[in-house]
């Protein structure tokens, strides 16, 4: 149960004495248990936003607050985790051990129960004793997703988790993510460069440009969404126009 309120968030880098704004004063409200997708051209600050949110990088200015179900500020930082573009599995652990990686403090029975739950959920049962180099990229990304789910964070940040996969594996995993999160109590921020994916998954699509939120487009379609519906096309056009600017249309 956690939402995020971002006020004037700024992140700057110094490159050869020049100040580069990766994020320039983002104001954003992410509601509790919502699924937000973020699109934008490369270099617009998508990844930086996630890295600052989960604490991998320090913010330069501004505030990040966390809110509870009623939209009130909470002081304690909720559990936040991230799925990276690459699976980043530990090569010396098997699939099952990788999934259990984040919960090593819990008791062995509890661990086994959770690992088995996510192995089932993600269809990884046959592979549980395989090492990461023995499984395909799509499977590895599933393991990474399972590892994050096993940690049971309140907020999940995903940085183009399907970006490096082939088209068919992608379609499969997109459907699985819809199933996993539409009736799950998690707040998700999902970065992608694929507009279709953003519409398919997100309740809200944010369009970032030059380190700021340019548009916020709520998608009012029921899950599971169909890519071939007329409304889907309209949303896609709207988003593409917002990203590319009007000059191209």
Partner 1 sequence: MLEFVRHVPPIACIPMLILWLGIGEASKIAVIILAAFFPIFLNTLNGVVNCDPKLLEVGDIFGFSVLEKFFKIILPSAMPYVTVGMRLGLGYSWRALIGAELIAASSGIGYMIMDAEQLSRPDIIIVGIIAIGLLGYVIDLLFFSLTAKLYNWNKEESKSWQELEL
Residue 81 CB, shortest distance to partner 1, in Å, is: 5
Angle value at C-alpha 105, between 148 and 1, nearest 5 degrees: 45
64 touches partner 1 (CB under 8 A): no
The span from the CA of 17 to the CA of 174, in Å, is: 42
Residue 233 CB, shortest distance to partner 1, in Å, is: 34
Nearer to partner 1, 92 or 248 (CB): 92
55 touches partner 1 (CB under 8 A): yes
For residue 94, which of 149, 142, 133 has the smallest C-alpha distance?
133
168 touches partner 1 (CB under 8 A): no
101 touches partner 1 (CB under 8 A): yes
Residue 126 CB, shortest distance to partner 1, in Å, is: 5
Enumerate residues 6+ apart whose C-beta is below 8 A from 180: 121, 149
Q: Is 183 helix (H, G, I), strand (E, B) or coil?
A: coil
Nearer to partner 1, 126 or 234 (CB): 126
Site track 14-53 with partner 1 (rule: CB under 8 A), x = hit:
----------------------------------------
Are 155 and 2 spatial neighbours (Cβ–Cβ below 8 Å)? Answer: yes
Residue 1 CB, shortest distance to partner 1, in Å, is: 18
Query: 92 — phi, psi (to 5°)?
Result: -90, 0
């Amino acid at each position: 149960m956690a939402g995020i309120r971002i006020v004037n968030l700024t992140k700057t880098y110094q490159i050869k004495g020049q100040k580069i704004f990766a994020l320039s004063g983002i104001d954003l409200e992410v509601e509790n248990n919502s699924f937000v997708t973020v699109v934008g051209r490369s270099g617009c600050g998508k990844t930086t936003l996630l890295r600052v949110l989960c604490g991998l990088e320090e913010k330069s200015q501004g505030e990040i607050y966390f809110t509870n179900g009623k939209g009130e500020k909470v002081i304690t930082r909720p559990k936040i985790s991230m799925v990276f573009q690459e699976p980043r599995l530990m090569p010396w652990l098997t699939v099952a051990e990788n999934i259990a990686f984040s919960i090593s403090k819990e008791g062995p029975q509890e661990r086994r129960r959770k690992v088995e739950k996510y192995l089932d959920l993600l269809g990884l049962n046959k592979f549980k004793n395989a090492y990461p180099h023995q499984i395909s990229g799509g499977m590895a990304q599933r393991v990474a997703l399972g590892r994050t789910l096993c940690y049971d964070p309140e907020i999940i940040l995903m940085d183009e988790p399907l970006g490096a996969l082939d088209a068919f594996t992608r379609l499969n995993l997109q459907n699985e993510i819809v199933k996993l999160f539409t009736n799950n109590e998690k707040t998700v921020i999902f970065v992608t460069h694929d507009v279709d994916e953003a519409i398919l998954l997100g309740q809200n699509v944010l369009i970032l440009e030059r380190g700021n939120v340019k548009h916020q487009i709520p998608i009012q379609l029921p899950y599971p969404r169909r890519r071939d519906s007329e409304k889907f096309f309209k949303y896609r056009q709207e988003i593409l126009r917002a990203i590319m600017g009007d000059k191209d249309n």
